[in-house]
Structure formats: structure tokens, C-alpha cells
């Protein structure tokens, strides 16, 4: 891992104005982050991309509007070109039947084919529901792996949600070797309170139970391109203290 990125959803409350975005990028750089993945843009894409470039932050991917990609690909393309990224992605999709999964795959492959003509790929980010097993004996994740074109699409594999969904993180990294453009680094901690069942919670990297040494070693062997920290919630103090803590923990794994 040569560089470290941040999924900007982590600091979403501080990404609403040009001033806040610039200040947030400056804090990220100070903590060791040089790359970012967007969670849509609160300001015009061109302005967002310009500020990122000025502050030394490379946009390596997006979580953006799937409907726009389907219905107005040219506009979606323009937005991504303004950000300077080659990964045109979404944050997930919920399907409620095998047929809906198949229909989604068909749409995603069309987007991927269009994106490839411009040097881009369509990227898909998983949660835990993709590990639900359908009546055909396959999970949504199985169907996505089989159905998405590996030449024009890739995965944003989320470590927390794989573990939460009952999957093995290293198994899925190996299974998707060469198909993971972005690995979401997200830790899982078991919360335990008296008279309450133990429950999994998102936490800072190194504060949970995932074996990062083995996960990152597997990721390196399987040619993961970008390593992106994401923490949705449960901040120790605030989101910036949390991303700083995660970056400090991950320093020992930097090449």
C-alpha cells in the first residue's frame, strides 16, 4: 500500500461548501491521505475536481447516481471527467429477486461498456445483503461476480460488510483478484452491553477485530489498486479524530 485514500462519506458533514471541502482536504493531507472517493458532490463537479487537484487529493472513484448513468450517460461521464477519475461507481443496489439482480447486472454491463470507450470502468460497492442466498442457491454477490463483465466493471470490496454478511474477507479478495479497483478498509468491533446481545459496530481501523496484516497482505498479492478508509459512524470523538486514528494505525503497512 503506497497511498491511502478516504471515502468522503466519512466526513460528509464537512463536504457541503467550497470552503469546507478545501479545509477538509487540507486536514486529510495532514493526516496522510492523498486519495479520495466521492459520495456524490454538494457543489458542481468541476469545482469539486478543481479544489481536489489544488489540494493534492486524487479522486480515485465515486459513489454516484446510478439512474443518471442509465438515463443520461453523457452527463454522468461529464461529471466523472470533471473529477479526473476513471472509476464510475455506485454505493450499492438492493434487489429483491433473482430477476431483479439479473436486470441490474444487464444495466451495469451497458454502463460499463459505455464507460470503457472513455477509459473508465463501472464499479460496484457491496454491503451485507449481497450475501443473502437466493432460491437458485447463489448469493447476489455470486451472481454479480459471474455476470458483471470483468473487462469493463470492477468491485469496491468493503471489508466490514463482507464480514458482517458472513463472508471471509480474504477469500473474497482472492476470488476477485484483479477485479478490485478499490478496497474499503472498514473495521468491525463487537459492542457488548449488560443485558443486551453483542452486536457488530463500525469502528476505527485497528480498534476492531479484523486481521489487517493478513487482509492487506492478501490485497497486495491480488493487485488491489486503491486502499480507501471508510467509517460510516461511531466516531470516538469526531470524524476527523477517527480518520486520523485510522491513518496512524495503517502507517505500518505503507510501502
CB 17 within 8 Å of CB 39: no
Going from the C-alpha of 28 to that of each of 4, 162, 244, the distances in angstroms are 10, 26, 8
Phi, psi of 180 (to 5 degrees): -105, 105
Strand partners, 208: none
Residue in 85, 63, 15 with CA at minimum distance from that of residue 240: 15
**b/e sequence 45-64, b meaning 16+ C-beta within 10 Å:** beebbbbbeebebebbbbbb
Taking each continuous run of H as one helix and of E as one strand, the counts in the chain are 10, 10
* Domain residue ranges of the chain, discontinuous segments joined by +: 5-253
- The three cell numbers of residue 57 are 487529493
pLDDT tens digit sequence for 231-246: 999 999 999 999 999 9
pLDDT computed for residue 157 by the predictor: 98
User: What's the rounded mean pLDDT across residues 154-177?
Assistant: 98
pLDDT computed for residue 125 by the predictor: 98
115: confidence class by pLDDT, cuts 50, 70, 90: very high
Neighbour tally for 157: CB within 10 Å: 25
- The three cell numbers of residue 196 are 443486551
pLDDT computed for residue 194 by the predictor: 78
d(CA 216, CA 101): 30
Average pLDDT of every residue of the chain: 97
Sign of CA dihedral 125, 45, 224, 106: positive
pLDDT computed for residue 172 by the predictor: 98
Q: Is the pTM of this model over 0.95?
A: yes
pLDDT computed for residue 193 by the predictor: 81
pLDDT tens digit sequence for 22-37: 999 999 999 999 999 9
pLDDT tens digit sequence for 52-95: 999 999 999 999 999 999 999 999 999 999 999 999 999 999 99
Looking up cell 459496530 gives: 201
Looking up cell 471489508 gives: 159
pLDDT tens digit sequence for 200-236: 999 999 999 999 999 999 999 999 999 999 999 999 9
d(CA 35, CA 6): 6
According to DSSP, residue 200 is labeled E
pLDDT computed for residue 104 by the predictor: 98
Which 3 state secondary structure label does DSSP give 189?
Answer: strand
pLDDT computed for residue 21 by the predictor: 98
CB 38 within 8 Å of CB 52: no
pLDDT computed for residue 196 by the predictor: 79
CB 130 within 8 Å of CB 141: yes
pLDDT computed for residue 98 by the predictor: 98
CB 185 within 8 Å of CB 230: yes
- pLDDT higher than 90, residue 192: no
User: What's the rounded mean pLDDT across residues 149-170?
Assistant: 98
According to DSSP, residue 165 is labeled T
What's the CATH code, domain 5-253? 3.20.20.150
Amino acid at each position: 500500500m503506497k497511498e491511502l485514500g478516504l471515502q468522503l462519506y466519512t466526513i460528509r458533514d464537512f463536504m457541503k461548501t467550497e470552503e469546507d471541502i478545501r479545509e477538509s482536504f487540507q486536514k486529510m493531507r495532514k493526516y496522510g491521505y492523498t486519495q479520495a472517493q466521492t459520495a456524490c458532490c454538494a457543489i458542481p463537479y468541476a469545482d469539486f475536481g478543481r479544489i481536489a487537484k489544488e489540494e493534492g487529493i486524487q479522486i480515485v472513484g465515486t459513489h454516484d447516481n446510478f439512474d443518471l448513468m442509465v438515463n443520461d450517460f453523457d452527463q454522468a461521464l461529464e461529471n466523472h471527467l470533471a473529477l479526473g477519475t476513471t472509476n464510475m461507481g455506485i454505493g450499492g443496489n438492493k434487489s429483491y429477486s433473482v430477476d431483479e439482480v439479473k436486470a441490474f447486472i444487464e444495466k451495469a454491463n451497458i454502463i460499463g461498456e459505455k464507460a470503457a470507450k472513455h477509459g473508465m470502468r463501472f464499479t460496484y460497492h457491496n454491503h451485507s445483503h449481497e450475501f443473502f442466498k437466493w432460491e437458485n442457491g447463489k448469493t447476489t454477490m455470486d451472481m454479480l461476480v459471474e455476470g458483471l463483465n470483468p473487462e469493463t466493471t470492477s468491485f469496491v470490496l468493503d471489508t466490514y460488510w463482507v464480514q458482517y454478511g458472513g463472508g471471509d474477507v480474504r477469500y473474497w479478495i482472492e476470488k476477485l483478484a484483479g477485479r478490485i479497483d478499490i478496497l474499503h478498509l472498514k473495521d468491525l468491533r463487537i459492542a457488548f452491553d449488560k443485558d443486551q446481545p453483542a452486536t457488530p459496530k463500525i469502528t476505527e481501523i485497528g480498534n476492531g477485530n479484523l486481521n489487517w496484516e493478513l487482509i492487506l497482505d492478501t490485497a497486495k498479492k491480488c493487485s488491489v489498486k486503491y486502499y480507501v478508509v471508510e467509517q460510516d459512524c461511531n466516531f470516538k470523538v469526531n470524524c476527523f479524530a477517527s480518520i486520523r486514528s485510522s491513518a496512524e494505525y495503517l502507517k505500518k503497512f505503507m510501502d
